[in-house]
Each structure stands twice: as structure tokens, then as C-alpha cells.
Amino acid sequence: MMRFFTGLALVFLMFFCPSPVLRAGTFEVESRAELNRLMVELRAQQFLTHATFGPKDTDVQALADRMMQIGVRRAASEWIDTQFQLPASTHQQLAEDMVAADGFETTQASINVARYRYHAWWHNAVTAEDQLRQRVAWALMQICVVGESGSNFNNRAAGKLGKGRWLGLSNYYDMLLNNSFNNYRDVLGDVTFHPIMGVWLSHLRNQKQDASQNIFPDENYAREILQLFSIGLYRLNTDGTFQRNPSGDLIPTYDNTEIETFARLFTGLTYNQSNSLRSGTVNFQEPMMMFDEFHDQDPKQVFLGQTLPGGVGGVADINAGLDNIMNHPSAGPFIVRRLIQRLVRSNPSKGYMRRVVRKFNNNGQGVKGDMKAVLKAILLDQEAWDGIRMVRRANPWRLEVTGRGTERSRLSEPVVLYASFIRRYGSTDNPNGYFLMNKLNFNWAQAPYASPSVFNFYLPDFQPAGDIKEYQASRRIPERTIYAPEFQILDGVFANRTPNRFRADVINEELVHTNLNNSTAVIRTTISYDFSAEKALVSDSAALVAHLDAKLCCGTMSNATRQALVETLNLTTNETNRFRVAMIGVLTSPAYSIAE
Amino acid sequence: MARKNKFELPRLDRRAFMQLSGGCAALSSTSLLSTLVNLKMTNTAVAASGGDLSGYKALVCVFFLGGYDSYNVLAPYETAEYNDYASARTNLALPREDLLEISDRSGRSFGVHPGMGEVRDMYNSNNLAFVANVGSLIEPTNPNNYNDVAKPLGLYSHSDLIQHWQTCVPQSRSQVTGWGGRMADMLTDTVNQNPSIAMNIALGALNTFETGSSVVPYVVQQSGATALSGYGSTGTGLNGLYTKFTDDMLGQQYGDLLEKSFAETRRLSIDGAIGFNSATNSVTLNTEFPDTSLANNLKMVARTIGAADTLQQSRQIFFVSIGGWDHHDEVINRQAGMLPMVSQALKAFYDATVELGVAADVTTFTASDFARTLSSNGNGSDHAWGGNHMVMGGSVSGGQVYGDYPASLALGNPLDQGRGRLIPSTSVDEYNADLACWFGVENNAELEDILPNIRNFHPAGEGPPPVGFMQGGLGGGEGGFIQPPTGGNPGGGSQGGGAAGGFGF
């Protein structure tokens, strides 16, 4: 339980009632010391919302303690350094352990064994200590996108190493985890050679041109690695704006000539331990191998006026090509914008972009693409904090917390929001402590491994119709246009189903995840929720609502919404209903879903 | 923060559109700008001019996501043409003896994919037509002017070509509305009296095609709309209080536009689901649909069409998508599995519109990112451009292959941009113009608002629509049928007495 939130009183001073532009909530406390502590706790929460799958009370307290000692930003930096040192909590081994603990093989029939992939993902999102790494891997998974609709990706049959093929996606995810704190060039390399990507974008068994057969290299991977994983369609400035030619047109980064060239580069790869390019067992466990005779060994005119000489062997050729892509000036702004959108906000300013891209382009030791430097720059930048303004006032001691709105917000990803709910409140009845949670894609249009295409669940440039599309941003925003990607999956179905999930969870105080363990029996995992802190406040509507605002919304719920909820609660003396309405009300509020 | 005028485009759009004038001779920057910026003003014009919006009509877009290999959906059948096709496609060529032979009105033979018997039958009963070699273009493009004309951005990429099909502004990448959305923006005041359900209804997910400046598509699943649990009670029990707080909270003013959008989306979702389910549940439908995702989606479309009166909508636009067509691998086997499912679903849907008495009021059309390379990459095909599409319904002048099916598909044919990527001979704009005009948009500034590039292809005025696949299209609204609709009973429905727009029953 958070120490101070329980003692908060909510004040409704009508002359403080904000204009609709502001989202101010006011928290009244007893002393200056409490005021400072509350402010730091909210900062710790805000930071952990960016850097983890959601703040837990104990983590907030620990980080707030340290922030009180050495300052907010330094404590956050120290926390990141600690996270950098933690070993990766991997997903494939965990999934295999979970399968074994239930007495199964990874090739087991009749149990939908591939579901253990989701179990492992949720378990790590909820419990893993290396939260920053988990969160960054999830961001990378939404840049270098693969999805379970790939051929054989849900297959329980054994692959080359005897494990169920469905583990391939977990293996891919582990590859991203292991690279989360490496160099983005490592990400590009390991993604390119991973057999899951080889199947997904069909450069596995891609062969050099054979004009006599009218066979040309498959262009799929060449196109998507450039368009989606590295540099994008148009040349970018370091501040995230587009470069333009003298007549004002956007400048394409490549045309179909380059696509055809890079298609020639990604040739000759197939499953590891194959005897030839076109024969060999599915092997999702090891990087693809090269058959040089099927690799296009001719020189290739690539970016920046460079030519890959060819004749160096396929693997060296591909690596030289990836170096060339990585050296493209658009790589920094392209990747940085996507990482900021996943971790902090939908619309980084030009200054934010410039500051982080500078780190991407040079970590201080002349290295481009250093993920550690980039992540620190993203998470510690002033814009990682300035979405919430906090003003301390005296007589009485109170904190005014304001969400600064449109250009500094984002709609939280549904699975991240739900993971944070489980981290706050959930425990599992599994004897091994496993959170054997299901895919849950009935509730929202997002789930681990479930991207419908290489374009992810939503596009970085999606704008919902209406106000956001029509809004002209301030000059600090690139191109003065704002985006809200996650709204692409907030449709008329899921805008009702997601509140329905929270409502049922609060009422039942548990969610039972049911699965088959063979064709007849059923295996259940119950995730129970501990709402004791909220229930303890149920007789004081204002205190309960202030507590929930601070804990779940970083204090950004407006006084007007808080007042409406308090007035509603005061209509009944039934404590169960007071608790439930307060809890469901906050979990379904704009302030909970829109985060700074 | 400067809040811009609601009807202005964001600055990026304006710049992006300004730049177009350089590459697009027939279109001045001001004309393109004005078509989009002044969209709202034309609303009034439509209502005032009494554009023909009588009766009921629906457009149903079936989008094959990923780029379907449509030269194996409609293949050549004439011996010489087939041989060119076979030489280009090598191991991707369907055997001639397996193709389902059809012929156009000139007697030229074509082969429909062997798994699409229902489509062949509907073609033969004149309720379905093909439109050949359609693709996104900015202006007429051919081998001679290829290097001189403005071409769609990002040719051959999924995300761009999907957008282009849906926006009909292929000189811009994003930020523009879809043509179905703009049509709804224009017509909705006249044809949709429902306060919470848009006339544009999407099965499964949001899409650009149906997204306008003010109209957001209403998304339902094949089972109907999802309601908010516990909502709708009064009193001081759990659900009564939850309902009250939800109403209070969503009714507040939000300065953060993300919060505002979130609250508005929630409000619309709550109200919409209640009304939608009540209306569609009261429609009975005896037509049997196969149990596939596409068929179940189309079944919900049919129920929604049946509920149009209750929903107070006299125009509806539907978007149904089906993924999995990006066949870089195994294109022959995968299409053999998927195309029969498409064919059967289309047939069931057509039969349902007959049962509902609206066959002549509903036009279904296909779309896809692009066609695929004619040449093989081993056992699949890659991204290409122009491809073949289907239009279906009682008002389609069926039994014909429209557009300009290439005389030769041999590699190196005049349209071939390499590997059998064909320059489209009919633009998406021309294809859509026939549909939009049938739907009630006039071929004047109205159509230019919907399809900003249309004047590059087709003049304004009373002449026939560019492709001519809709009945009455040749008469420019004067009611001239090529042949009467078959298979349906357009006059017997509940939707206001059959086809509108000059069909003189």
C-alpha cells in the first residue's frame, strides 16, 4: 500500500476548478514533507509507467526513497543502470519449463500446446525483474514485427532440434530480449538471420536470379527491412521532420531499383543444418545458414554511393549490406521515433527527437546505434517528465497535478495496461507461481505474437478521424501534425469489451484462465486480485477516489471527474457497490487509458 | 496551442498537396485543395440540390489484404492468349483444361479459377462482372508516357497501395480520408438519421476507406456489436451507479484531445451497440451461409442491410476484409484453398440480398493492394500493380469483362514494368466513379470531392460513367437498362421499393 495516498483528502475548491483545457487534480496533505513525498512518488510512478509493464507499489516506494535521497532524475538513471545489469528472463526456456511442470512435451497433442507462448509472455511481463528489458523487447517486437499467422508458427510438430515448432516465436522474442541493450545493428542482424523472419517475410530459401526460369529474388524482406525496420520511405532530418527538395517535395529514401538490389542481397539463406537450399527440416531454433551458390555474388549499388563488391560470401555480403542500411542518416530518426512512441509518448517534439537521435548516432564513444545510450536518452529526457505538471501550494499544503494534454499524451497499449493492472493487484494460484494467462485477444485487438501483419497492430502515423486529425500542433511538433497510433485498435467493439474485462475482474476479484490439458479434462489457473487497500477506504468516497487517481492515473484525473465519481458513490451506503463502482469507474476512465 | 479551423487540413497535408501540382499537370493545386478543404460546404449543396438519394442503396467492399494474385482468378482462355500467360507464369500457370470458361459480349473467352464455380455461374446469369487490370493511378499512364506522368507513391509496397486503393489520393501517403469516408461525409446528413451508428460499417476493424473527416466507421463483429456490460440500469445498485457515472464521465469536457477522442469513442460505442443489436436481431434470414470468416462477415452485412430501415439509414457502406493473400510462397495451393471460400461466400451473400428483396440495391465490389507478378519467384509471386476485380449485384450489368484485359500477358508485353508487373489500364478512380455515381454522387464537383484525381480520367457532366458496369450507367441516370436485373426481386423489399436512381419500375 502506498503510504501517503491513504491519508489524502480530496478538496473541491470551486475557484480551482480548471478550465476544460487543463486536467488538474488537487491533493491535499498534512505537511510540506508529505507534499514532497507525494510528488516524488508520482514521478516514480510516471517513470515506471514508461520503463516497465507497470509500477508496483513496492517498486514505487523503493524508487521514491532513492529519489528523495539523490534526486528524481539521478535515481531514475541509477535504476536504469541496475536494470542494464540484470540477466534476461527469457521466454522459450520458461515456456518449456511450464510445459514440463504440467507434465507435457512441447510436441504434445490435444492441449493447444502453443498457448504456453502466451503464458510465458504474461508471466514475464507481470513478474520478471528485468522489466526494462522486457518492455524494450516488446517495443522492438512492434518494430521488427512477426506474427503467429506465419507458416508453421503454431505447429506442435517437432522441428530440427526436437522441440515443438511453436517455440520459434518465443525464440525470436528472446533474440530481441538479448539485443535490447546491445546495438540496433545487432537487432537488424539477428532479425535478418532469424528463421522466423525468414519464413514471415519469405527470404528463407530465396535464391539469386535465374532468368532462364523467370525466377527473380523475392523482394519482400528487402522492402520491409527498409520501409519498416530501419529507414522508412522518406528521408528524415534528425528532428523528425521530412527532408524536402527545393520544390518542397518529400525525398524518397529508395526506389524500386534499390529494392531489387537488396532483394539480391537477401539470397541463399535457409534453415540451419540443411543439406541444400530447398531441402531440410524446419529449424526455428538456430539462425539461418547460407548456401553461397544461391547467393547473388555480383556487386551491388547500395546507399550512400557505396557498392558492395560481392564475392565475399553471402553472410559477409549481407552483413556489409546491413552496415550500409544502418549508416543511412534516416535510421536514427526513424527508429528513435518508434521507440519513443512505444515507451513514452505518441508525438515527440523536434527537440526530443534531436536529443535522442544525437545519442543514437553517437553514444559519446563514436558508436552508432547503442541501445543503452538511446534508452537513457529517451527515458531521462525532460519530455519523459513534462507531460505531468506538479505545482506545490501552501495553506493548506496541496499538490496540483495536471496532465498537459494533447501533444504530450498517448493512449496506453491495451496489453500493457492490463499487465500493469495484474502487476498491481494480481496473484496466481499456480503451485509454481506461474501466471498461466491466456491470449485474451477477445478483450482488445492486441496480444503478444498476434500482429495481423508486418505493419503491427497500428501504424505510427495513424490519426483517428475528428479532432486529432484536424488539430494543428504547435511548432515544436514535427510537421505540426499529431498522431495517436493506438486509437487504430480502439473501435466500437473493443471500446466496450475492454471496460467489460475490467468490470468482470473487479466484480469477481479474480479471472480464471481455462485450458484443456487433454481432450477431456480442464486445467485452470486463477489470477486473484487483492483490492484490500481500496476496500479500506471505502467509507470515505473522496479519499478512495483520490487514492485511485494517484495510484492508477498518476494524479491526472480532473477534479470534475473525481467530483462526479464521489457524488455517485455517495448515493449508496452499500460498501461493496461503492468499492466496485469506484474501481471500475477509474479503470474505465479516460485518465486511466490516456497516459503521460 | 492554436486550434486550427476545423475544416482546414493539417499543414503537412497542405504542403503535400501543394507539391502535387508540379507532378500532375491536369490538376492545379488549388483544385485538389479545394475539393478536400471545402468538403463540408458541399454537404449543404448536396442537400439543397436534391442529388438523387432516394430509395435504399448499399456498397459492400470486399478487400483482399496482401495483394491477391488476380491473373489466376481471371486468366486468358483464348489459345494464343493462354499460351502467353503460361509462358509468363511458368509453374504458376493454371492448366487451361481446369479453368472455367466464360466469354465476354464480344465472344472473347476467359478462364475463371477452377475453385470459383459460383462466381462463374453469377457471371453467366449477369449478376457479376469482372473489371480487368485495375490499379491505382494519378493520371492515365501507359508505356509511352510512363516516365513523364506522376505515379502513385511507394509503388508495390503493401502499406502504400492499400492506402491508395482506399484514399484515392495516391500522391499522398497518409492523413487523407478514404473515398468511402468522404462520400459519407457528403451524404450522411441526408441519408443517415441515426445519431450513433455511422452509415459506414466495418466488419472487424477500422479502415481508411470508410474514414471521413467527420464520419468514423462503425465497427462490428460477425456476431454483432459488443454492448457495454451492466450499462443501462437506473437506481443505486451497482449497474445503476455504473451507468450514471459512465454517463457523467463521458459527458464532461476534455481539453486533452486524446482524452476527448477516447471519451467520444466510448460514448458512441455504448449507444451504437444497443441500437445496432436491437435492429439486426429482428431481421430473419433463411439463406444458408458457409461457416467461414468471410461468409459470416457477409451474413452480418446482410442482416444489417435488412435492418437499414430500423437503423434509419438509406445509404450504407460496408467494408469486409480478408487477409492472407500475400502469397510469396505456395500461391497455387493457397489460392486453391481460399478462392472457393470467397466464391461460396459471395454467392451466399448475393442470395441473401435476393431473399431480402434488395438484390438491385446492393452492389458488392472487390479490392486488393495490387495484383502479383506474373513471373514466379520459385513457388510464389511478388508485389505488382494492375489486377482483376469483381462487381456483383442485381444492378450490375453482369456477364461482361470490363476495362481492358491485356491482349498478351507474355513477359515484356507493353504494359510490363518487369516480371509481369502491369501498368493498370483502368484506374481505381474510374472503377470507383461507376460505384459512386450509382450510389448517388453527381458527376460534378461532388465526384471531385470523392475522387480528387477523377478529372484526369473522366470529364464532368451527363455522359456515362467511365467504366460502365452498372446498369443505367450508359444513360447517365436516365434509366436505360442494358438488360433487366435477374435473380432478384428489386421491387419486393422492405427498403423502399427497389433500386433508386432512375430505374423505372
pLDDT in tens, B414-473: 999 999 999 999 999 999 999 999 999 999 999 999 999 999 999 999 889 999 999 975
pLDDT of residue B39: 32
- How many whole angstroms separate alpha carbon B91 and alpha carbon B330? 11
- How many whole angstroms separate alpha carbon A76 and alpha carbon A229? 29
- Tell which residue, A221, A94, A106, has the closest CA to residue A154: A106
pLDDT of residue B301: 98
Band of pLDDT at residue B496, cut at 50, 70 and 90: very low
pLDDT of residue A523: 85
pLDDT at B97 > cutoff 50: yes
Q: Which residues of A touch B225 (CB under 8 A)?
A: 492-493, 496
Across the interface, whether the CB atoms of B254 and A233 are under 8 A apart is answered: no
pLDDT of residue A587: 98
Residue in A with minimal Cα distance to B66: A453
CB atoms within 10 A of CB B30: 12
pLDDT of residue A333: 98
Q: Which residues of A touch B23 (CB under 8 A)?
A: 249
Average pLDDT of chain A, as a whole number: 93
Query: What mean pLDDT do residues B355-367 have?
Result: 98
Band of pLDDT at residue A23, cut at 50, 70 and 90: low
In total, the C-beta contacts within 8 angstroms joining chain A to chain B are 281
Look at residue A181 and give its three-state secondary structure.
coil
Note the pLDDT tens digit of each residue in A559-582: 999 999 999 999 999 999 999 999
Any B CB within 8 A of A347 CB? no
Interface of B with A in 5-44 (CB under 8 A): 6-8, 10-13, 15-16, 18-19, 22-23
Look at residue B20 and give its three-state secondary structure.
helix
- How many whole angstroms separate alpha carbon A120 and alpha carbon A88? 13
Q: Is-contact A57 A360, C-beta < 8 A?
A: no
Any B CB within 8 A of A466 CB? yes
Q: Is-contact B440 B52, C-beta < 8 A?
A: yes
Band of pLDDT at residue B20, cut at 50, 70 and 90: very low
Q: List A28's β-bridge partners, or say none.
A: A9, A398
pLDDT of residue A156: 95
Any B CB within 8 A of A507 CB? yes
- How many whole angstroms separate alpha carbon A265 and alpha carbon A310? 9
Across the interface, whether the CB atoms of A496 and B268 are under 8 A apart is answered: no
Q: Which residues of A touch B237 (CB under 8 A)?
A: 572, 577
Query: What mean pLDDT do residues A238-248 have?
Result: 96
Residue B190 Cα distances to B440, B447, B484, angstroms: 11, 17, 29
pLDDT at B98 > cutoff 90: yes
Nearest beta carbon to residue B226 from set A206, A452, A493: A493
pLDDT at B6 > cutoff 60: no
Any B CB within 8 A of A275 CB? no
State the nearest Cα–Cα gap between B479 and chain A, in angstroms.
37
- Tell which residue, A399, A126, A477, has the closest CA to residue B2: A477
State the nearest Cα–Cα gap between A86 and chain B, in angstroms.
36
Contacts of B156 (CB under 8 A, 6+ apart): A219, A223, A256, A259, B370, B382, B383, B384, B385, B421
A285 or A456, greater pLDDT: A285
Any A CB within 8 A of B244 CB? yes
State the nearest Cα–Cα gap between B211 and chain A, in angstroms.
7
Nearest beta carbon to residue B252 from set A205, A455, A561: A561
- How many whole angstroms separate alpha carbon A536 and alpha carbon A578? 12
A459 or A527, greater pLDDT: A527
Helix axes A57-70, A72-85, angle to 10 degrees: 120
Nearest beta carbon to residue A220 from set B324, B376, B382: B382
CB atoms within 10 A of CB B29: 15
pLDDT at B140 > cutoff 50: yes
pLDDT of residue A442: 82
Across the interface, whether the CB atoms of A471 and B257 are under 8 A apart is answered: yes
If phi > 0 it is left, if psi is from -120 to 50 it is alpha, else beta; for residue A435 that is beta
Q: Is-contact B150 B22, C-beta < 8 A?
A: no
Residues above pLDDT 70, as percent of chain A: 95
Note the pLDDT tens digit of each residue in A43-67: 999 999 999 999 999 999 999 999 9
Residue A239 Cα distances to A184, A243, A379, angstroms: 19, 10, 17
Any B CB within 8 A of A341 CB? no
pLDDT at A11 > cutoff 50: no
Across the interface, whether the CB atoms of A496 and B214 are under 8 A apart is answered: no
Query: What mean pLDDT do residues A483-511 have?
Result: 93
pLDDT of residue A93: 98
Across the interface, whether the CB atoms of A215 and B378 are under 8 A apart is answered: yes
pLDDT of residue A346: 98
pLDDT of residue B205: 77
pLDDT of residue B25: 27
Q: Grid coordinates 503535400 are at which residue? A: B16
Q: Is the dihedral of CA B60, B66, B67, B72 positive or negative?
A: negative
Q: Is-contact A451 A142, C-beta < 8 A?
A: yes
Mutation site for A-interface testing, chosen from B151, B233, B261 by largest number of A Cβ within 10 Å = B261
Q: Which residues of A touch B154 (CB under 8 A)?
A: 227, 233
Residue in B with minimal Cα distance to A222: B157
Mutation site for B-interface testing, chosen from A253, A454, A472, A494 by largest number of B Cβ within 10 Å = A472
Q: Which residues of B touch A21 (CB under 8 A)?
A: 255
State the nearest Cα–Cα gap between A2 and chain B, in angstroms.
26
Across the interface, whether the CB atoms of B256 and A463 are under 8 A apart is answered: no
Across the interface, whether the CB atoms of B259 and A409 are under 8 A apart is answered: yes
Band of pLDDT at residue A447, cut at 50, 70 and 90: very high
pLDDT at A483 > cutoff 80: yes
Across the interface, whether the CB atoms of A471 and B215 are under 8 A apart is answered: no
State the nearest Cα–Cα gap between B481 and chain A, in angstroms.
39
Q: Which residues of B touch A470 (CB under 8 A)?
A: 4, 6-8, 10, 213
Interface of A with B in 512-551 (CB under 8 A): none
Band of pLDDT at residue B4, cut at 50, 70 and 90: very low
Interface of B with A in 71-110 (CB under 8 A): 88, 90
Any A CB within 8 A of B504 CB? no
Nearest beta carbon to residue A492 from set B23, B268, B326: B268
Query: What mean pLDDT do residues A79-95 have?
Result: 98
Across the interface, whether the CB atoms of A20 and B154 are under 8 A apart is answered: no
Residues above pLDDT 70, as percent of chain B: 82
Least confident among A2-6, A142-146, A521-525, B114-118: A2-6
pLDDT of residue B196: 75
Query: What mean pLDDT do residues A301-318 have?
Result: 97
Residue in B with minimal Cα distance to A506: B238
Across the interface, whether the CB atoms of A22 and B329 are under 8 A apart is answered: no
Q: Which residues of B touch A479 (CB under 8 A)?
A: 10-12
Any A CB within 8 A of B181 CB? yes
pLDDT of residue A263: 96
pLDDT of residue A453: 75
Any B CB within 8 A of A562 CB? no
pLDDT of residue A519: 64
Q: Is the dihedral of CA B134, B140, B146, B147 positive or negative?
A: negative
Q: Is-contact B352 B127, C-beta < 8 A?
A: no
Residue in B with minimal Cα distance to A561: B249
pLDDT at B491 > cutoff 80: no
State the nearest Cα–Cα gap between A469 and chain B, in angstroms.
7
pLDDT of residue B153: 79
Mutation site for A-interface testing, chosen from B177, B246, B259, B421 by largest number of A Cβ within 10 Å = B259
Mutation site for B-interface testing, chosen from A578, A594, A596 by largest number of B Cβ within 10 Å = A594
pLDDT at B503 > cutoff 70: no
Q: Is-contact B206 B219, C-beta < 8 A?
A: yes
Query: What mean pLDDT do residues A95-99 have?
Result: 97
Query: What mean pLDDT do residues B295-321 have?
Result: 97
pTM of the model: 0.74
Band of pLDDT at residue B226, cut at 50, 70 and 90: confident
- Tell which residue, B295, B309, B304, B287, has the closest CA to residue B355: B287
**Residue length of chain B:** 505
- How many whole angstroms separate alpha carbon A111 and alpha carbon B462? 64
Band of pLDDT at residue A148, cut at 50, 70 and 90: confident
- Tell which residue, A534, A397, A537, A568, has the closest CA to residue A11: A397
pLDDT at A375 > cutoff 70: yes
State the nearest Cα–Cα gap between B257 and chain A, in angstroms.
5
Band of pLDDT at residue A24, cut at 50, 70 and 90: low
- How many whole angstroms separate alpha carbon A206 and alpha carbon A220? 10
State the nearest Cα–Cα gap between B469 and chain A, in angstroms.
32
Q: List B367's β-bridge partners, or say none.
A: B63
- How many whole angstroms separate alpha carbon B338 and alpha carbon A571? 57
